């Protein structure tokens, strides 16, 4: 009990410090000369390198590089600092500096981590090297070479995160802070919908590739005229959604059930308000499957959702424009029923199936076995909204098969372990199975997530999910073996 109380105290202090640091960051970036802000943000990276509270700065930087409400937006006037690359117009971004700091910090940590899916993961890395070398031989342009490297290095989180996060308390502290970011992300999204302006504009930053200028009045959009499609921190929303469900079924009570259901509700609300059908399908699938698995306690779960539902009802009454947004959202979701009647465009709203997919696949069939690697043809035809097709054009049937082998191996190991453990452990393993399928649905219907080229934020989300799954897999297997040995000793005696 004392340990839980101590953790609860730490959780609260961490959240207070987290929010204070976020507000200080806004003030220093938006109201003081840029050089002062640059020194401060570089100081954050130095603090990450020096601190023992790795979880705190990983969560904080994870938030600010997502640019909630376009705060610290890379293409705005108040972006996070980086380093220019001599001789080019390119630069090393703050997110990439964050990745490098986490990697350098691990050099002094002597801990060998053997992931249970190490073999299929290693095969993927080897095939990447093969594709890269083939692309270089085919006169790969220097800028494309640099782009390929910088979009592959986020997978180095698979090396650094297990070394920086070694205990279940450290993971609980990390997810505690990620949960605390959800209200910030939802508030930024509601600001867009309710006011028609993004949050950063209230601090004087009107530079955005989405902004629309209307005379002297900088308008982001008119929420009463069309569906607002903005969503912030989708990678944080996704990992927090899965982990909130994980901690709900976990008997180790790091968080209250009511709090976890509130986080689940906010994540689901944010995705619903975005009107992004693939993400909506993904999140609803995970929620429904969770309810089926946790059916014995379904009454308690439903009761737990009552408070978030009441608060949301109050928000609807206070801001009728959200009702307009939800009406537009449900109309957009309703277009999926057109697929059942044979309309593959879903009322003209799924051009990725009718126009963009045929374009990518027509090129794929010219080199189906190994794909196009990272050549000019790949970058010309790759489509970030077509996950599977883009994987095929990148690595061909061979590369795609290696990804599927990795996924199949991951799921098979979880299923095999699940068959030999107690109900409590079964529920935990189920969450990682459900979570993976949810991510896979999003990859299949909305945004390319699994690829040899990912952003720092996507790479961190993917690595956090798979590494925490590995951590739980080992903990459960070790606990089950210890229990089995104890039972066997008792029988012998």
Distances in Å between the Cα of 493 and the Cα atoms of 116, 202, 212, 489, 490 are 34, 73, 78, 6, 5
For residue 459, give the nearest of 165, 242, 154, 178 by alpha carbon: 154
**pLDDT number for residue 306:** 61
d(CA 219, CA 197): 6
**pLDDT number for residue 491:** 45
Distances in Å between the Cα of 460 and the Cα atoms of 131, 178, 278, 369, 414 are 23, 13, 21, 30, 22
For residue 109, give the nearest of 49, 45, 33, 37 by alpha carbon: 49
State the pairing for strand pair 83-84/217-219. Answer: unpaired
Q: In this structure, are residues 269 and 312 in contact, taking their beta carbons and an 8 Å threshold?
A: yes
255: containing domain? 2-334+366-492
Alpha-helical segments (H) within 72-154: 94-106, 118-137, 142-152
Tokens found for residue 365: 């069939």
Tokens found for residue 8: 């609860």
Tokens found for residue 86: 């001599």
Q: Total structural domains in the chain?
A: 1
CA R_g for the chain: 23
d(CA 48, CA 46): 5
352 assigned to some structural domain:
no
249 assigned to some structural domain:
yes
CA angle 259, 265, 271 (to 5 degrees): 140
288 assigned to some structural domain:
yes
357 assigned to some structural domain:
no
Question: φ and ψ at 90, to 5 degrees?
Answer: -85, 165
**pLDDT number for residue 489:** 47
pLDDT in tens, 369-426: 998 888 888 888 888 878 888 899 999 999 999 999 999 999 999 999 988 888 888 8
The residues, any chain, with a CB within 8 Å of residue 451's CB and separated by 6 or more, are 387, 390, 391, 394
Summary count for the chain: helices (H), strands (E): 21, 4
346 assigned to some structural domain:
no
341 assigned to some structural domain:
no
**pLDDT number for residue 29:** 95
- The dihedral of CA 123, 141, 104, 448: what is its sign? negative
d(CA 121, CA 141): 28
Q: In this structure, are residues 201 and 232 in contact, taking their beta carbons and an 8 Å threshold?
A: no
Distances in Å between the Cα of 68 and the Cα atoms of 9, 65, 209, 233, 432 are 27, 8, 15, 7, 27
The residues, any chain, with a CB within 8 Å of residue 261's CB and separated by 6 or more, are 244, 248, 301, 304, 305, 307, 308
**pLDDT number for residue 187:** 92
Q: In this structure, are residues 175 and 243 in contact, taking their beta carbons and an 8 Å threshold?
A: yes
Which parts of the chain register pLDDT below 50? 1-2, 4-5, 209-217, 488-493
d(CA 395, CA 202): 44
Local structure of 434: helix, strand or coil:
helix
d(CA 124, CA 128): 6
């Amino acid at each position: 009990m004392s340990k839980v109380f101590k953790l609860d105290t730490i959780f609260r202090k961490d959240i207070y410090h987290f929010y204070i640091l976020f507000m200080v960051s806004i003030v220093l970036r938006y109201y003081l000369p840029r050089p002062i802000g640059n020194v401060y943000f570089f100081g954050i990276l130095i603090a990450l390198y020096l601190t023992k509270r790795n979880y705190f700065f990983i969560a904080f930087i994870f938030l600010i590089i997502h640019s909630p409400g376009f705060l610290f937006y890379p293409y705005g006037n108040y972006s996070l600092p980086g380093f220019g690359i001599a001789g080019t117009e390119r630069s090393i971004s703050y997110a990439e500096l964050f990745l490098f700091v986490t990697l350098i910090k691990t050099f002094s940590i002597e801990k060998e981590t053997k992931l249970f899916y190490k073999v299929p993961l290693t095969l993927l890395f080897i095939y990447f090297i093969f594709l890269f070398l083939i692309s270089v031989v085919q006169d790969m342009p220097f800028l494309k070479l640099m782009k390929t490297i910088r979009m592959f290095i986020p997978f180095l989180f698979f090396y650094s995160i297990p070394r920086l996060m070694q205990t279940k308390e450290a993971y609980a502290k990390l997810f505690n802070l990620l949960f605390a970011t959800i209200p910030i992300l939802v508030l930024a999204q509601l600001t867009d919908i309710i006011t028609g302006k993004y949050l950063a504009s209230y601090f004087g930053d009107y530079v955005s590739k989405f902004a629309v200028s209307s005379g002297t009045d900088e308008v982001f959009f008119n929420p009463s005229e069309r569906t607002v499609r903005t969503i912030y921190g989708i990678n944080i929303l996704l990992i927090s959604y899965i982990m909130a469900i994980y901690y709900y079924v976990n008997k180790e009570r790091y968080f209250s059930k009511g709090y976890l259901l509130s986080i689940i509700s906010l994540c689901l609300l944010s995705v619903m308000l975005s009107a992004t059908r693939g993400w909506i399908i993904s999140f609803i699938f995970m929620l429904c499957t969770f309810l089926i698995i946790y059916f014995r306690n379904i009454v308690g779960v439903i009761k737990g959702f009552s408070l978030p539902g009441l608060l949301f009802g109050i928000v609807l009454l206070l801001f009728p424009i959200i009702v307009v947004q939800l009406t537009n959202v449900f109309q957009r979701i309703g277009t999926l029923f057109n697929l059942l009647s044979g309309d593959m465009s879903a009322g003209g709203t799924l051009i990725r199936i009718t126009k963009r997919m045929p374009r990518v696949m027509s090129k794929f069939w010219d080199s189906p076995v190994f794909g196009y690697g990272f050549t000019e043809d790949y970058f010309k035809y790759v489509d970030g909204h077509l996950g599977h097709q883009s994987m095929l054009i990148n690595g061909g049937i061979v590369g795609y098969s290696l990804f599927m082998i990795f996924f199949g191996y991951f799921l098979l190991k979880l299923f095999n372990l699940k068959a030999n453990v107690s109900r409590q452990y079964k529920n935990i393993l189920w969450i990682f199975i459900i979570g993976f399928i949810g991510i896979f649905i999003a990859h299949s219907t909305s945004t390319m997530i699994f690829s040899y080229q990912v952003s720092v934020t996507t790479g961190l989300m993917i690595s956090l999910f798979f590494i925490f799954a590995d951590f739980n897999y080992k903990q459960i297997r070790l606990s089950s073996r210890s229990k089995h040995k104890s039972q066997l000793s008792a029988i012998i005696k």
